Structure 1
Amino acid sequence: MTERRHQRKFVRTFFTSPTALQGEDDSAKMIRRAAQLRGLEAPDVWVPDNEDATAPSMRDEGARNIIDVVAEGGAEFPGEIHPRVVWHRDSPATRYQGFQHMLEIADPDNGASEHIDGFVIPEVGDIDDWKKADEFFTIVETEHGLEEGSLKMSVIIESGEAELAMGKLRDEMGKDTNNLERLFLLVDGEVDYTKDMRAMTPTGKLPAWPELRHNTSRGASATGCIAVDGPFDDIRDVDGYRERMTENHAKGMLGIWSLTPGQVVEANTHPLPPKEGSWQLTVGDQTVTLTDEGDVQAYEGDRLSLEETGDGYVLRTPGGEQHLDEDELREELLDMAEYVPSMDDIVDSMEEFEAARDAGTGAIAMEQATTLRFGDVEVDISNDRMWDEATYQAAMTPIALFQDVYENRPDQHEELAEMYGESVVERATSVGK
Structure 2
Amino acid sequence: MSFTVVEPATARLNRSELAVPASNYRFIEKAADSAADVVFLDLEDAVAPDDKAQARKNVVKALNEIDFGKRTLSLRINGLDTPYMYRDVVDVIEQGGERLDLIMIPKVGTYADVYALDMLVTQVEDAIGRDKRLGFELIIETALGMANVDEIAAASARNESLHFGVADYAASTKARTTNIGGPNPLYGVLTDAAVAGASRDFHWGDMWHYAIARMVVAARAAGIRPVDGPFGDIRDAEGYRAQANRAAVLGCEGKWAIHPSQIELANALFTPSEEEIARAEAILSAMQQAKREGKGAVTLDGRLIDIASIKQAEVLVDKARQIAEAG
Corresponding position of 1:388: 306
Q: Following superposition of structure 1 onto structure 2, how do residues 242-391 of structure 1 map, counting pairs within 5 Å?
A: 242-275=241-274, 341-367=275-301, 384-391=302-309
Contact 1:127 1:162 in 2 (8 A): no
The equivalent of 2:57 in structure 1 is 64
Where does residue 400 of structure 1 map in the other structure? 318
Match of 2:192 in 1: none
Instruction: Provide the TM-score with structure 2 as the length reference.
Output: 0.84
1:19-54 CA-partner distances (Å, limit 9, x unpaired): 114xxxxxx1111111122xxx2x222101111112
Secondary structure of the residue aligned to 2:84 is helix
SS at match of 1:81: strand
| 1:3-152 alignment runs, 5 A limit | 3-8=7-12, 10-21=13-24, 28-37=25-34, 41=35, 43-74=36-67, 76-88=68-80, 91=81, 94=82, 96-107=83-94, 110=95, 112-147=96-131, 150-152=133-135
Asked if the contact 2:281/2:313 (under 8 Å) is kept, the reply is no
Q: Give the match for residue 181 of structure 1.
A: 157
Distance 2:180 2:63 in 1: 36
Query: Could you tell me how far apart the structure 2 residues matched to 1:188 and 1:347 are?
Result: 32
CA shift at 1:84, angstroms?
Answer: 0.8
Return the alpha-carbon distance in structure 2 between the equivalents of residues 215 and 78 of structure 1.
Answer: 31
Between Structure 1 and Structure 2, the one with more strand by share is 1
- SS of equivalent to 1:344: helix
Kindly state the Cα deviation for residue 204 of structure 1 after the two structures are TM-superposed: 5.7
User: CA offsets per residue over residues 370-399 of structure 1, 9 Å max, x none?
Assistant: xxxxxxxxxxxxxx1121222222222222
Aligned to 2:201: none
Paired position in structure 1 for 2:150? 167
Amino acid in structure 2 at the alignment position of 1:353: M
Displacement after TM superposition at 1:169 (Å): 4.3
Kindly state the Cα deviation for residue 247 of structure 1 after the two structures are TM-superposed.
Answer: 1.1
Q: Distance in 2 between matches of 1:165 and 1:199?
A: 19
- Residue 181 of structure 1 aligns to a residue whose secondary structure is coil
Partner of 2:239 in structure 1? 240
User: Which residue pairs with 1:197 in the alignment?
Assistant: 173
**Partners of 2:54 and 2:307 in 1: CA distance:** 55
Q: CA deviation at 1:184?
A: 1.4
Residue 1 of structure 2 is aligned to residue 2 of structure 1: no
Give, in whole Å, the separation in 1 of the partners of 2:252 and 2:222. Answer: 14
Q: Which residue of 2 aligns with 1:215?
A: 214
Residue 116 of structure 1: how far off its partner (Å) = 0.6
| CA distance in structure 2 between the aligned counterparts of 1:7 and 1:128, rounded to whole angstroms | 25
Residue 257 of structure 1, CA deviation: 0.8
> Post-superposition shift, 1:232?
0.9
Tell me, yes or no, if the aligned pair for 1:83 and 1:118 is still in contact at 8 Å: yes
Mapped to 1, the partners of 2:85 and 2:298 lie a distance apart of: 56
Pair 204,344 (structure 1): closer, same or farther in 2 beyond 3 Å? closer
Distance in 2 (alpha carbons) for counterparts of 1:365 and 1:155: 41
- Partner of 2:197 in structure 1? none
Counterparts of 2:129 and 2:69 in 1: how far apart (Å)?
24
Whether the aligned pair in 1 keeps the contact of 2:109 and 2:144 (CA below 8 Å) is yes
Contact 2:137 2:163 in 1 (8 A): yes
Query: What is the one-letter code of the residue matched to 2:56?
Result: A
- Report deviation, 1:60: 0.8
Distance 1:204 1:229, change over 3 A: closer
Whole-angstrom distance in 2 between the partners of 1:269 and 1:117: 24
- Matches of 1:106 and 1:267, distance apart in 2: 30
Contact 1:85–1:121 (CA under 8 A) maintained in structure 2: yes
Is the 8 Å Cα contact of residues 169 and 223 (structure 1) preserved in structure 2?
Answer: no
Deviations 1:301-321 (A, max 9, x none): xxxxxxxxxxxxxxxxxxxxx
**Sequence identity, in percent?**
25
Structure 1: distance between partners of 2:220 and 2:146: 14
TM-fit CA distance, 1:5: 2.5
**Does the 8 A contact of 1:245 with 1:254 survive in 2?**
no
SS across alignment from 1:52? coil
Distance in 1 (CA, whole Å) between partners of 2:310 and 2:79 is 43
Deviations 1:101-147 (A, max 9, x none): 2211111xx3x321011211112222222222222212221332225
Instruction: Tell me which amino acid in the other structure corresponds to 1:199.
Output: A
Pair 1:211–1:258, CA change in 2 (3 A): same
- How many residue pairs are counted as aligned between the two chains? 299
Which protein is bigger by CA-based radius of gyration? 1
Conserved 8 A contact 1:36-1:73: no
**What amino acid is the match of 1:167?**
D
Deviation at 1:223, TM superposition (A): 1.1
What SS class does the counterpart of residue 30 from structure 2 fall into?
Answer: helix
Counterpart amino acid of residue 33 in structure 2: Q
- List alignment gaps of at least 5 residues for structure 2: 185-206
